[in-house]
């Protein structure tokens, strides 16, 4: 399916998600300037379904990814919309100060992937800084084991009010190595996903 419309322009109105800023500083006697973008921290969840022996990932359209692909096309043709899809961990921004990170993560698991879990089941295994040159936003990564009995048939697919359209992808663990090369061959895979897969291979897979 192609975009009905796809326009790129300058950010002239206040955004709910990013705030551009400039840092002026002096070091070693030299004045320097760095531009950055303030954005929300986030939580990401690596989900393993024990019944299906699969990782639970999400595939969704990322218009900015599509825009970057446009810059790489030299013949003037627009790439297909598939170029804008990414394979990612279930994730969400930290924008609810009254909730713990685990509560936010559990809500995202339910909203995006359809699993209803208690926040206490989430195990944090890493905290990372993403896009350190531009946003330096922090992200917490959790591991969660689920079963089909945790599924809520009425949930999943993302928040339609936010324009999300999420496809839940079950990736068999006997094909897990393919996730490390997919970006070069077919679907874009986020860096956090690659990190989480490597962690899973090292710490979880040997005991399965």
Rg of the chain's alpha carbons, rounded to an integer? 19
Round to whole Å and give the CA distance between 38 and 17.
8
CA distances from 99 to 71, 103, 104 (A): 39, 6, 6
Give yes or no for a contact between 47 and 113, defined as CB atoms under 8 angstroms apart: yes
Write the CB contacts of 201 (distance below 8 Å, at least 6 apart in sequence): 176
Q: Kindly tell me if the per-residue pLDDT of 7 is higher than 60.
A: yes
Position 76 scores a pLDDT of 62
Question: Which tops the pLDDT comparison, 189 or 3?
Answer: 189
Output the CATH code of domain 41-207: 3.90.79.10
Average pLDDT over residues 5-29: 90
Instruction: Please identify which residue in the block is written with the tokens 């690596």.
Output: 46
pLDDT category at 75 given cuts 50, 70, 90 is low
**Nearest residue to 91 (alpha-carbon basis) of 166, 153, 20:** 166
Q: Write down the pTM of the prediction.
A: 0.90
89-136 residue pLDDT tens? 999 999 999 999 999 999 999 999 999 999 999 999 999 988 777 788
Is a pLDDT exceeding 90 seen at residue 67? no
193 or 183: which carries more pLDDT confidence?
Answer: 193
> What digits encode the pLDDT tens for the residues 38-63?
989 999 999 999 999 999 999 998 88
Find the distance separating the first CA and the last CA of the chain, reported in whole Å. 39
Cα 88 to Cα 188: distance, rounded to the nearest angstrom? 9
Which H or E element spans position 169?
A: strand 167-172
- Per-domain boundaries in the chain: 41-207
Mean pLDDT across the stretch 135-162? 85
CB of 123 closer than 8 Å to CB of 108:
no
pLDDT reported for residue 74:
62
User: Comparing C-alpha atoms, which of 30, 61, 36, 195 is closest to residue 125?
Assistant: 195
Confidence grade of residue 204 (pLDDT, cut at 50, 70, 90): very high
165 class by beta-carbon count within 10 Å (0-12 exposed, 13-18 middle, 19+ buried): exposed
């Amino acid at each position: 399916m192609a975009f009905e419309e796809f326009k790129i322009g300058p950010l002239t109105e206040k955004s709910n998600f990013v705030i551009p800023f400039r840092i002026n500083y002096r070091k070693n006697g030299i004045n320097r300037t760095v531009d950055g973008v303030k954005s929300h921290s986030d939580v990401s969840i690596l989900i393993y379904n024990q019944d299906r022996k699969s990782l639970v990932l999400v595939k969704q359209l990322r218009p900015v990814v599509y825009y970057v692909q446009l810059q790489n096309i030299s013949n003037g043709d627009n790439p297909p919309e598939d170029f804008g899809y990414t394979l990612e961990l279930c994730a969400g921004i930290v924008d609810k100060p009254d909730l713990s990170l685990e509560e936010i993560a559990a809500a995202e698991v339910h909203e995006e992937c359809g699993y209803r879990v208690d926040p206490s089941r989430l195990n944090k295994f890493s905290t990372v800084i993403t896009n350190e040159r531009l946003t330096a936003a922090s992200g917490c990564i959790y591991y969660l084991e689920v079963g089909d009995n945790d599924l809520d048939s009425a949930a999943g697919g993302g928040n339609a009010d936010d324009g999300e359209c999420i496809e839940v992808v079950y990736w068999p663990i006997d094909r897990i190595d393919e996730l490390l090369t997919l970006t070069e061959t077919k679907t874009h895979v986020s860096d956090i996903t690659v990190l989480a897969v490597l962690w899973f291979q090292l710490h979880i897979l040997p005991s399965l």
